[in-house]
């Protein structure tokens, strides 16, 4: 899923300081699962904003709604009734959400209330980790099912650098496992260490962000 993390309230307050009435829009997709942008977080953020503005002597009215998803145009539509009375929108979906709001409401300012952190998953309660960078050409099958593009700080493809020490990456002050140690252990288990002995040459990055904005088309589904 897409992992999100709430922006500091002060940053959002600064962005909306000129508005009296805003919509706070959540999303029932990924950001609900990672406790960053669902119904509950919408209520909390809206109340934090109101309290801060009241304390500053500049009251704010908030209209709250949590969309089924914010990454489908039809699910943005239910915001119409709220947005017509509001001066701005704060979306706490991943950054797709605010951009869909922007597309639907050309004259209403839209601000992100979240930082979109990664494509990842839950590691433990309250901890989410990154697993994918969407390079558009998955190669983890060569690496025991583990991704060095995302999980190696240098995106190496030919094994661990000199900064791999006792299974830990030199980047991250001891908090990040060396993915190459994990790949090595995994390939050893699978009897596939030869995969690490082969020289891996140049990756084609044109399927990644580097190739320009990506559009995925499934002809059979297009209408």
Partner 1 sequence: MTAEYSAGSRLEKIFKSGQKAVTGECGPPRGCDVEHFKHKANFLKGNVDAVNVTDNQTAVVRFCSMAASKILLEMGMEPVMQMVTRDMNRIGLQSNILGAAALGIKNLLCLTGDHQSFGDHPQAKNVHDMDSVMLAHTVKTMRDEGKMVSGTELQGRPRMFIGAAANPFADPQEFRVIRMGKKIAAGAQFIQTQCIYNMERFRKFMEMANDMGLTEKCYIMAGITPLKSVGMANYMKKFVPGLDVPDHYITRLKGVPKEKVAAEGIKIAVEQIQECLAMKGIAGIHLMAIEWEDHVPEIVQAAGLLPRPVVD
Binding residues (CB under 8 A) for partner 1: these are 153-167, 170-171, 178, 181, 184-185, 196-197, 199-203, 205
* Pick 54 or 209: Cβ nearer partner 1: 209
* Pick 73 or 163: Cβ nearer partner 1: 163
Structure tokens belonging to residue 4: 């999100």
Minimum distance of partner 1 from residue 159's CB (angstroms): 5
Cα–chain-centroid distance for residue 158?
A: 28
* Pick 9 or 153: Cβ nearer partner 1: 153
What's the first-to-final CA gap in the chain, in angstroms?
Answer: 27
* Pick 100 or 184: Cβ nearer partner 1: 184
Structure tokens belonging to residue 138: 């998955």
SS3 content of the chain, % helix, strand, coil (to 5): 35, 20, 45
* Burial label, 99 (beta-carbon count in 10 A; 0-12, 13-18, 19+): middle
Minimum distance of partner 1 from residue 150's CB (angstroms): 12
Question: Which segments within 33-159 are labelled E, that is strand?
Answer: 61-67, 88-91, 110-112, 114-124, 127-132
Contact, 70 vs 147, CB < 8 A? no
Tally Cβ neighbours within 10 Å of residue 200.
15
Report the candidate in 36, 52, 40, 38 with the shortest Cα–Cα distance to residue 126.
36
Minimum distance of partner 1 from residue 146's CB (angstroms): 14
Minimum distance of partner 1 from residue 121's CB (angstroms): 24
Report the candidate in 148, 155, 152 with the shortest Cα–Cα distance to residue 164.
152
Minimum distance of partner 1 from residue 194's CB (angstroms): 10
Minimum distance of partner 1 from residue 5's CB (angstroms): 18
């Amino acid at each position: 899923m897409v992992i999100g993390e709430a922006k500091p309230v002060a940053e959002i307050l600064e962005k909306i300081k000129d508005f009296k009435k805003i919509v706070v829009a959540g999303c029932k997709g990924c950001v609900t699962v990672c406790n960053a942008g669902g119904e509950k977080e919408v209520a909390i953020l809206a109340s934090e904003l109101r309290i801060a503005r009241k304390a500053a002597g500049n009251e704010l009215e908030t209209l709250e709604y949590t969309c089924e998803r914010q990454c489908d145009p039809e699910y943005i539509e239910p915001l119409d009734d709220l947005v017509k009375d509001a001066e701005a929108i704060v979306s706490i979906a991943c950054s797709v959400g605010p951009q869909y709001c922007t597309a639907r409401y050309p004259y209403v300012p839209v601000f992100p209330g979240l930082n979109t952190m990664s494509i990842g998953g839950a590691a433990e309660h309250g901890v989410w980790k990154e697993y994918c960078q969407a390079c558009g050409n998955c190669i983890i099958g060569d690496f025991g099912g583990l991704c060095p593009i995302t999980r190696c700080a240098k995106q190496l493809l030919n094994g661990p650098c000199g900064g791999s020490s006792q299974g830990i990456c030199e980047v991250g002050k001891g908090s990040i496992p060396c993915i190459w140690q994990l790949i090595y252990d995994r390939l050893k288990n699978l009897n596939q260490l030869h995969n690490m002995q082969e020289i891996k040459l140049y990756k084609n990055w044109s399927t990644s962000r580097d190739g320009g904005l990506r559009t995925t088309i499934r002809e059979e589904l297009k209408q």
